Structure 1
Amino acid sequence: MQIIKYPERSEWASILARPQFDTSSLNDTVSTVLSDIKKRGDEAVMEYEEKFDKIRLTSLLVDSAEIEESEYLVSEELKAAICLAKKNIDSFHRSQIFESKKIETTEGVTCWQKAVAIDKVGLYVPGGTAPLFSTVLMLAVPAKIAGCKGIILCSPPNREGKIHPAILFAAKEAGVDKIFKIGGIQAIGAMAYGTESVPKVYKIYGPGNQYVMAAKQLVSLRDVAIDMPAGPSEVQVIADDSANAAFVAADLLSQAEHGADSQVILTTTSESFISDVLQEIELQLFELPRREIAEKALQNSKLILLRSNSEIIDMTNQYAPEHLIIETSDYMDIADKIVNAGSVFLGHHTPESAGDYASGTNHTLPTNGYATAYSGVNLDSFVKKITFQKITKKGIRNLGPAIEIMAESEELFAHKNAVTLRLKE
């Protein structure tokens, strides 16, 4: 990890830059695969499954027998943990249910909104380097609460043509309607365009590698909505001398093990604390099964020494991290000044892992600085809001003259006439 001491503000942008990888051929590959799936449907999807996931499939749909079998392949301890997480995720997202209010903006003019579930949604759950069954809960639980009628899920199969049983169990518990053995670009294409087996959806959700993200962004240009643009996972930790160096090291490593293109950052005003964290990282890294992946991520990562909390806050809001952990004695004071972050974890006993799995908040979050403008997935991600208005005779008399003069000033005389006729009546 790179240690950076007291950088000038003019250097911050380059210091905080996310890892860059050669993607020159990425968009061409993604476009080619998407175009082929749009033309040939299931046939193309199966060919790309064989090419990319190394498995020849005879059917894309996971049948009921395979779903039932997952119940016996998942340990009782894991099933209990999944059910606890589901309960907490359900409670938190249920609290976000929209309550509509009718507002009389002018006497006789009433306006209101109605939240309506997006009918058909597609969930993408990665299963390459790690089976992310937690993502199933994060996406399917709020979709079910919102009232989405068609919830389909795509996840890559293993070399035996199976989806990890924990993903299947979580999908069943969360109320997913159909599950398909499809990974990567081909999953996004199948959900965006529809195939003989896979229904076309109206919106696609979920994380993935650079190919998945590129595919999501390409199909969003004209075929389907997506939850957000996103990229490799990241975390920033703000810590002071009151923090436990072992906790901080564990928090940094928990994000680094996501993937070689992940980024982790520590910001602090304590130089001695940086040394303590480095020692802990070396100790803990040695024990990790995904050590090689974490080591690659740490090459993109930084320990930054700053002069004051004020600088830390400014740098954080410039970086706009996906995950932000504040492990300081005055964490609420700092948190109150944070305006750009996906999800924030407060105090010494709140690891980012809690949000990843079971606290109840959603772990599908904006990365790559998009937290400056995007929220993470929440209940609103699965609904659209329709506005309504009702105007009485008294209302059109009160509002009509203003509409007439505005329409005439914009030279839209049919607009004016629609009001004038009513006023004459």
Structure 2
Amino acid sequence: MATSLPNATSPEPEPGSSALRLELLRDPEAAGKRLEAIAWRTGSGQSRAAAERVEAILEQVQREGDSALIELTERFDGVRPDPLRIPLAELEAAWQATPVDLQEALKLAHRRIVDFHQRQKPADLDVKGVHGERLGRRWRPVERAGLYVPGGRASYPSTVLMNAVPARVAGVQRLVMVTPPGSDGRVNQTVLAAAHLAGIEEIYRVGGAQAIAALAFGTATIPRVDVISGPGNLYVTLAKKAVYGRVAIDSLAGPSEVLVIADHTADPEHVAADLLAQAEHDPLAAAILLTTSEDLARAVPAAIEAQLEGHPRGAITRQALNDWGLIVVCPSLEEAARLSDRFAPEHLELQVERPEPLAERIQQAGAIFLGAWTPEAVGDYLAGPNHTLPTSGTARFSGALSVETFLRHTSLIRFNRAALEATGAAVITLAESEGLHSHAESVRRRLAR
């Protein structure tokens, strides 16, 4: 739960009330501290007990393989995933059963995501040195990629596309998708339709930490992969953290978040809708408004309340806003940008009169959405850039899932005699400074011949 801070103006509700308690701050230093607390809101949640539970699951899957996957899925999801693998015919049937308008929307998203990611492919390097040596770097795809697609509160066909497309563009030959089954033992039809569109043929109905273990260690049915990508809950995240090193991972994703910077030109209904669009994800989702307009700060909570009326995910959304929602009235857009960089948001919307100059000022954000006509939702589904973004302040040092996530690069070095003669003395000197006799000898003996 969010703690009360100085300058908070929302009254405390009666016990059991569903009234919105959206925190409002005006003091920049108090706002900065609150933003940091929100960014790290899951730190205490990654408890020792959860980590120990994940470790036990990993060990059981490594020891027992498929039987552990079936037993753990029965225990946690209440269904028996038998068979583990979804037949190809079921993927084709899911696509055929998908309404035409949804098919067309998926195809549009797929085309745009493919087009953008194809432009990301890095070029090999081939450099000729001054003494005739050749230096280079080449990129090659990993052989197998594991894609985790979450289930639970909602199903995410968009996550299928956002993970499969960069892997395919990178040239990965074998994509292995895992996703938890529903209470009926089946995987969501639209998720399967998106997988069919993306060319994924290997899908297993297993989720949670046990699915990550299967991808990392391999079982009789599920192959071991080289990279695991895709978001999940706390147990999935802890499992990815635990197996990193045995396999590569894309990131350690936390709860989703949006930060909106808005001035007097912003429409309160648009701002409210965009904050709600993030808060409806999860009770831990964060929705933050930094504004230079007192009028907007007063209007947005009322607009949120109006849009929450009859909201199908109202309980989740209210909890997220009450615990992790925040409005800060800033003296200037410069101060808003400074606070935004302190938070390093996953999604940053600039609903201001001149968004481009403000975007130049921002240094730390996963994705920036410029202007009143760019809701974060377009990035979630079909703008083109990847929607798998750094959370919990990690935009300070990382970026979106990309084609490079599924590539590895190798350095290429070729010296001729002239190049070694020109540089060998320096190599010998450096090797001897480190006390590595044979390093120096490997060069000295060549030059002596």
Q: TM-score range by the shorter chain?
A: over 0.9
> Which of 249, 253, 256 is the aligned partner of 2:279?
256
How far is 1:402 from its partner?
1.4
How far is 1:32 from its partner?
1.2
- Closer/same/farther in 2, CA of residues 177 and 113 from structure 1, 3 Å limit: farther
Q: For the aligned residues, what is the CA RMSD?
A: 1.4
Is 2:77 the counterpart of 1:53? yes
Distance in 1 between the 2:387 and 2:200 partners? 18
Is 2:269 the counterpart of 1:246? yes
> Which of 22, 46, 61 is the aligned partner of 1:2?
22
One-letter code aligned to 1:38: Q
One-letter code aligned to 2:173: K
One-letter code aligned to 2:383: S
Is 2:307 the counterpart of 1:284? yes
How far is 1:103 from its partner?
1.8
> Which of 325, 346, 356 is the aligned partner of 2:349?
325
Matches within 5 A, 1:13-412: 13-18=33-38, 19-20=41-42, 22-24=45-47, 25-220=49-244, 222-299=245-322, 300-412=324-436
Quote the sequence identity (%).
37
Contact kept? 1:142, 1:379, Cα under 8 Å: yes
How far is 1:10 from its partner?
6.3
Contact kept? 1:89, 1:362, Cα under 8 Å: yes
1:415 match: 439
- Closer/same/farther in 2, CA of residues 157 and 146 from structure 1, 3 Å limit: same
How far is 1:338 from its partner?
1.3
Contact kept? 1:108, 1:396, Cα under 8 Å: no
Contact kept? 2:22, 2:301, Cα under 8 Å: no
Contact kept? 1:104, 1:111, Cα under 8 Å: yes
**Partner deviation per Cα, 1:42-97 (whole Å, 9 max, x = no partner):** 11111111111110122100011211210232111111111110000000000011
Contact kept? 1:106, 1:399, Cα under 8 Å: no
**Partner deviation per Cα, 1:229-288 (whole Å, 9 max, x = no partner):** 221111100111111111111111101011011111100111111111111111111142
Distance in 2 between the 1:106 and 1:5 partners? 60
One-letter code aligned to 2:108: L
**Partner deviation per Cα, 1:280-302 (whole Å, 9 max, x = no partner):** 11111114211111111101210
- Closer/same/farther in 2, CA of residues 35 and 368 from structure 1, 3 Å limit: same
How far is 1:112 from its partner?
1.0
Distance in 2 between the 1:410 and 1:14 partners? 48
How far is 1:150 from its partner?
1.4
Contact kept? 1:121, 1:204, Cα under 8 Å: yes
The residue matched to 1:144 in structure 2 has which SS? helix
Residues paired across the two proteins, number = 424
Distance in 1 between the 2:403 and 2:35 partners? 35
How far is 1:14 from its partner?
3.5
Deviates more, 1:309-318 or 1:197-206: 309-318
Distance in 2 between the 1:2 and 1:278 partners? 7
Distance in 2 between the 1:103 and 1:30 partners? 47
Contact kept? 1:125, 1:155, Cα under 8 Å: yes
**Partner deviation per Cα, 1:15-65 (whole Å, 9 max, x = no partner):** 431234644321121111111111111111111111111101221000112
Contact kept? 2:28, 2:330, Cα under 8 Å: no
Distance in 1 between the 2:315 and 2:404 partners? 38
Distance in 2 between the 1:78 and 1:64 partners? 21
- Closer/same/farther in 2, CA of residues 267 and 118 from structure 1, 3 Å limit: same
Contact kept? 1:229, 1:370, Cα under 8 Å: no
One-letter code aligned to 1:375: G
One-letter code aligned to 1:245: P
One-letter code aligned to 2:333: N
Distance in 1 between the 2:359 and 2:242 partners? 35
Contact kept? 2:61, 2:69, Cα under 8 Å: yes
One-letter code aligned to 1:322: E
**Partner deviation per Cα, 1:90-133 (whole Å, 9 max, x = no partner):** 00000011112322343222211111101111000011111101
The residue matched to 2:276 in structure 1 has which SS? helix
Distance in 1 between the 2:82 and 2:403 partners? 36
Contact kept? 1:106, 1:398, Cα under 8 Å: no
One-letter code aligned to 2:279: A
The residue matched to 2:63 in structure 1 has which SS? helix
